Structure 1
Amino acid sequence: MRAVVQRVKRAKVTVGEEITGQIQQGLLVLLGVSDTDTEDDASALADKIVGLRIFNDPDDKMNLSLADVGGQMLVVSQFTLLGDCRKGRRPSFIKAARPEIADSLYRIFVAQVQGQGIVTATGRFQTHMDVELVNDGPVTLLVDSQKEF
């Protein structure tokens, strides 16, 4: 699994005119699922992201986790994170998981985050979404379950 993690002051996702997910301070996670990912990847990545110490402490050092600050998480499925742009000008998505597998692992990731007591909102899987955010910092990280944590 591959994730773009953004520390945000607020974020929301809409489908058409409907807000499907909205958070205040926390993390916006754009999540891509590869064809080799497993339930273990989903659980490990959720644990890693929830535990990232990327929020400022009273000394203004990034030393606190999402749980430490009472933050929320908005998780948006994004298969394009698995796009391979090395050849030609059109990305190849051959490494992205099939939709039914990706949806299942996406749901496992979300459930794992919620199981840690994090208020979690989501987009709508396999739908065109508009994502709005106010990036805090900015702080943006790439986290990949296929690379050692």
Structure 2
Amino acid sequence: MPKDVVISEDGASISGTAEPGSAITITTSDGTPLGSGKVDGEGHFTLPLVPAQTNGEQVTVTATDGANNVSPPATAQAPDITAPDKPIISQVLDDVESFTGPLANGQTTNDSRPTLSGTAEAGARVEVFDNGVSLDSPRYSPTAVGRLRRCKI
């Protein structure tokens, strides 16, 4: 079984150890081939990943010895170095009288803490700005869709 399997910081190669001379096969979680090669005489391998894995993907690595015995799979997690899409604010909700309800783009509010709803990459840091000034400390989106209540306008 391959051990110490690690994907490089740029996602372009994978390395690890396995039985010397065995053949290494690398696939995506859905079985798409990413690369293959041989383990050197000291039991080490470093192989290219094509295409590079840069979005936190999980890859599977197996070793096949000279007798065609296939090892149990080992897995490695690719780095997530691709910038997320920008967050999208889909609604701003005012719940302070005299006007309550959703606000239109450009509309003003007397609510110092309106509720913002929208989408962002799950786990991404979301920070809201008003004319270049941060309105609150950064928040993290636990899911791809969420609400942010603590903004001070």
Q: TM-score, normalised by structure 1?
A: 0.20
Higher RCO structure, 1 or 2 (CA under 8 Å, sep 6+): 1
Greater share of helix residues, 1 or 2?
A: 1
Greater share of strand residues, 1 or 2?
A: 2
Q: TM-score, normalised by structure 2?
A: 0.20
